[in-house]
């Protein structure tokens, strides 16, 4: 286990590995702590804070179909047992709050995103004024040992035209959370924490199915690999390894009927050896995903 909530993350020019689990973690080893204390803190600069609404209204004027959905916010993590001993089983608890797409657009995706950062090294404190929704990404390896990559459409809101791994977000709506604008949502709930942890694993399979068209029956149980944060705009993403029991050629046939094929213009498959080269074309957080896969393969 590399990286911790109290140590400096592993840093590359384009990404930070906030947490690396080279051996991978199963569903039973990952839990969630969902609390209000992990929500975003408003920035003390009133003008900067007001810019969030302005940016959103400008985006809506151009794209009226934009939807301000709730998202889980990354707020750090802690190890439950085995910390510091690689011979012991590692169990992870991820800290999650609640944010929304509008605040993500107005903070992380704002051209003034750096102004929302606190000038300290500690990661969670540094990003406490950003929405930082926790995205997800899947390194999907086919039966003929190819890694699936998608070329994003130019019409999508994030990473238009970029090469990425399949992925998106785990959705609060999937576990019955709409929003918490009134502050009335009870979060001290072990049952809810369990549902959210399950949604992290269920959600990445759902994204792979929707974006590639591969039925879930041909996909393995996801293995959690770690969390990468993009250096530009500090966007965090959790990455998983998923084995596909179909050949890459068979996957291409399914892609033609994918539910969310409109989000991408091309599906490609590359070998493990060629992935580092292809990763250079990716946004920073997805470059981190490729690095996590490389660590797993060592």
3 state SS of 122: coil
Residue 4: its pLDDT value, please? 44
3 state SS of 11: strand
Q: What is the separation of C-alpha 80 from the centre of its chain, rounded to a whole number of angstroms?
A: 22
Mean pLDDT of 153-157: 67
Q: What's the pTM value of the predicted model, to 2 decimals?
A: 0.91
Percentage of the chain lying above the pLDDT 70 cut: 88
Model confidence at 8: pLDDT above 50: no
Query: Which sign, positive or negative, has the C-alpha torsion 120, 122, 128, 134?
Result: positive
Residues 6+ positions from 286 with CB-CB distance below 8 Å: 137, 162, 163, 164, 165, 228, 237, 279
140 or 282: which leads in pLDDT: 140
User: Of 25-29, 119-123, 233-237, 264-268, which gets the smallest average pLDDT?
Assistant: 264-268
Model confidence at 85: pLDDT above 90: no
157 sits in the region (left: phi over 0; alpha: psi -120 to 50; else beta) called: alpha
Residue 226: its pLDDT value, please? 97
Cβ neighbours of 295 (radius 10 Å): 18
Measured between alpha carbons, how far is 279 from 286 in angstroms, rounded to an integer? 7
Model confidence at 211: pLDDT above 90: yes
pLDDT tens for 38-74 read 999 999 999 999 999 999 999 999 888 888 999 999 9
Residue 6: its pLDDT value, please? 42
Average per-residue pLDDT in the chain?
A: 90
Mean pLDDT of 146-175: 85
Q: What is the separation of C-alpha 225 from the centre of its chain, rounded to a whole number of angstroms?
A: 12
81 or 242: which leads in pLDDT: 242
Model confidence at 207: pLDDT above 50: yes
Confidence band for 216, pLDDT divided at 50, 70 and 90:
very high
Residue 184: its pLDDT value, please? 53
Packed helices 190-212 and 248-255: angle between N→C axes, nearest 10 degrees: 90
Residue 169: its pLDDT value, please? 92
User: Of 139-153, 191-205, 250-264, which gets the smallest average pLDDT?
Assistant: 250-264
pLDDT tens for 108-132 read 999 999 999 999 999 999 999 999 9
Mean pLDDT of 230-251: 97
Residue 81: its pLDDT value, please? 73
173 or 262: which leads in pLDDT: 173
Query: Which range has the top average pLDDT, 85-99, 169-183, 277-291?
Result: 277-291
Sequence-ordered alpha helix ranges (H) in the chain:
46-62, 101-106, 123-126, 190-212, 248-255, 275-279, 284-297
């Amino acid at each position: 286990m590399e990286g911790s909530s109290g140590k400096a993350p592993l840093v590359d020019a384009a990404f930070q590995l906030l947490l690396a689990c080279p051996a991978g973690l199963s569903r039973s080893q990952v839990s969630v702590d969902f609390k209000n204390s992990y929500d975003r803190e408003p920035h003390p600069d009133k003008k900067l804070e007001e810019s969030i609404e302005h940016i959103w209204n400008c985006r809506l004027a151009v794209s009226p179909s934009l939807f301000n959905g709730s998202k889980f916010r990354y707020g750090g993590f802690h190890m439950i047992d085995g910390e510091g001993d690689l011979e012991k089983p590692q169990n992870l608890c991820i800290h999650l709050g609640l944010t929304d797409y509008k605040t993500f657009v107005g903070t992380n995706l704002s051209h003034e995103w750096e102004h929302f950062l606190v000038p300290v090294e500690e990661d969670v404190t540094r990003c406490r004024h950003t929405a930082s929704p926790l995205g997800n990404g899947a390194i999907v390896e086919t039966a003929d040992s190819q890694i699936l990559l998608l070329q994003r459409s130019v019409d999508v809101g994030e990473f238009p035209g970029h090469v990425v791994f399949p992925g998106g977000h785990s959705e609060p709506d999937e576990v019955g959370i709409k929003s918490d604008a009134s502050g009335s949502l009870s979060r001290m709930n072990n049952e809810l924490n369990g549902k959210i942890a399950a949604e992290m694993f269920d959600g990445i399979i759902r994204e792979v199915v929707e974006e590639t068209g591969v039925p879930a029956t041909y996909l393995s149980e996801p293995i959690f690999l770690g969390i990468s944060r993009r250096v530009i705009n500090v966007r965090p993403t959790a990455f998983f390894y998923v084995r596909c029991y179909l050949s890459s050629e068979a996957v291409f046939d399914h892609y033609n009927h994918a539910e969310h094929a409109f989000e991408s213009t091309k599906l490609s498959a590359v070998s493990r050896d060629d992935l580092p080269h292809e990763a250079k074309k990716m946004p920073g957080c997805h470059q981190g995903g490729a690095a996590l896969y490389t660590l797993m393969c060592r």
